[in-house]
Amino acid sequence: MESVWDQSIYDIDQTVKEITTEGTYEIAGRYLDESYTIPLWANGGGLFYNQQLFEEHGWNQNPKTWDEFVKLLEEIHAEGIIPITFPGQYPYYLDYSFGPVKAFELADINGNLEQFTEDFRNFNLPQYLAEENIERLNRIYELGQKGYFPSGIAALNHTQAQMQVLQGKAALVSTGVWVENEMKESAPEDFKWGYMAVPFGDRPEDPKWIHHVPQSSFMVWSSKPELNKQWAKEFIVWMLNMDVQERIADAGQLPIRQDYLDDPQRVSALQNAPKSLLEYMNNNPVKTENGVRKVTLTDPSYAQAMKIFSEAVTEIVEGKQDPMPILEEAEKLLEKAIEVDHK
């Protein structure tokens, strides 16, 4: 489906590649530099919060540096409110705000992005012990030592963690843009979701990398007649029409068109969670990443490495587990998996 990127959109004189949000083409699911699906919407993640609570306390809703972010957490903690929560039963939820995307951010700030990206995509070692990943985990550990995550977080599921924000027990929850739809039956009528990314840089102008995953559920069967395949591709292009993108936004997903925010009336009709995320992207130097790899590892040691790391996450965020021994153990298992799969 690589050719679809150069097809013209029906309702505007631009191609699919030109109209989709910046970076979509580069991070969309690809195999050997060929596209087999075209993103039609996106999921985004980060820290979501109660706008009214932040306004009442005068808290910073857009910290631009790591120091500003830590200061915000200090102020929240001083009020007896949990600064950050997430569902410890599903540790990957932490990745929506503090995940591998933050290692990309550090590499970008340090001028090492090209090499880091090449190593990450192809499983070039080190991975768990990459300088940027160690820094990422150490920062999470330091926040945990200060008590900025809830104790007993391993017992929380996703609705319980998100409910902590609705009830004012926690200020920020690491989750995805779907949170508004997911919690609509429990949220007060006037509740407004806000969004922020975690800034890892020291300067306000440093890039803010966010977890942003282009999505599509449509693929074209190669064995079908050429006419069928042609019309299937036309249908996919049609789904990028603005009226279709508006329907996608109504369902709580992120529209993939970069001109979606050009119309204030269209923006005002968005749900608060996706609107806040899109506005953040529009008002800050944002870059996106979905953590795609170009290499697949099949040896069981790889799954074991991921399991060891995942099981340690809640201990790290509570400040009980120094991440280094975990990273070293996971790196050894990953190295074994790479050696086996390369034979």
pLDDT tens digits for 290-301? 888 888 899 999
**In the predicted model, what is the mean pLDDT of the chain?**
94
Q: For 44-209+296-342, CATH number? A: 3.40.190.10
CB 251 within 8 A of CB 181: yes
| Stretch 224-250: mean pLDDT | 94
Q: Is the peptide bond between 83 and the residue preceding it cis, with omega within 30 degrees of 0?
A: no
Q: What is the pLDDT of residue 340?
A: 94
> Does 331 have pLDDT greater than 80?
yes
CB 196 within 8 A of CB 62: yes
> Does 191 have pLDDT greater than 90?
yes
| Stretch 150-172: mean pLDDT | 97
Give me Rg for the CA atoms of the chain: 21
| Stretch 226-236: mean pLDDT | 96
Q: What is the pLDDT of residue 28?
A: 75
> Does 213 have pLDDT greater than 90?
no
Domain ranges of the chain: 2-43+212-263, 44-209+296-342
Q: What is the pLDDT of residue 252?
A: 80
Q: What is the pTM of this model?
A: 0.91
Residues 241 and 253: their CA atoms lie apart, in Å, by 15
Work out whether strand 41-50 and strand 208-215 pair parallel, antiparallel, or are unpaired.
antiparallel
Q: 145 vs 293, which has greater pLDDT?
A: 145
> Does 122 have pLDDT greater than 80?
yes
pLDDT tens digits for 32-45? 778 888 999 988 99
